[in-house]
Amino acid sequence: MLDKNQIDKILIELIKSGNVSIGKYNNLFEMVDQMAIKLNYIKSSPSDRMESGVELEEEDYLKVQDDIWKLVLDGILAPGKNKMNPWFPNLHFTEIGKQYREKLIQKEKKF
C-alpha cells in the first residue's frame, strides 16, 4: 500500500501531464498504475510485483479516486470532456484548474 505522499505525488504528476480525463473507469486504474511505475513505486511487470510483494491495492486506487473527487468539488476539474462526452466519468480542467496545473508545472521548473 502506498503512503499519503506517494498518492499525492501520483495525482500531482497526473495533473501536470494533463491526463485526468478518465473516460472509462478502468482508465483511471491504468493511469495510476503507469504513474506508480514511472515514479518507481511499483515494478513494471505483474510477476515482479508479485515477487516483491509491492503492488497497488484497492485502497490506493480509492484514495486517488477520492482526491480526484476533491478536485471536482474544489472546481479544478469538472464533468465532461467534449460535446460528445459531456458528463461523468469524463473530466476536464476548468479555467481555475488550468491555472492550478500551470502553477504546479512552474513550481517544478523552479527546482
pLDDT tens figures, 31-72: 888 889 999 988 776 666 555 555 688 888 889 889 988 999
More confident residue, 39 or 29: 39
At 59, list the grid cell: 485502497
Domain residue extents for the chain: 4-110
Q: Residue 75: its pLDDT value, please? A: 95
Considering the chain, what is the average pLDDT of its residues?
A: 81
pTM to 2 decimal places: 0.74
How much is the pLDDT for 74? 95
Cβ neighbors of 88 (< 8 A, separation 6 or more) are: 79
Which CATH code for domain 4-110? 1.10.10
What is the sign of the dihedral through the CA atoms of 44, 49, 52 and 56? positive
pLDDT of residue 73: 95
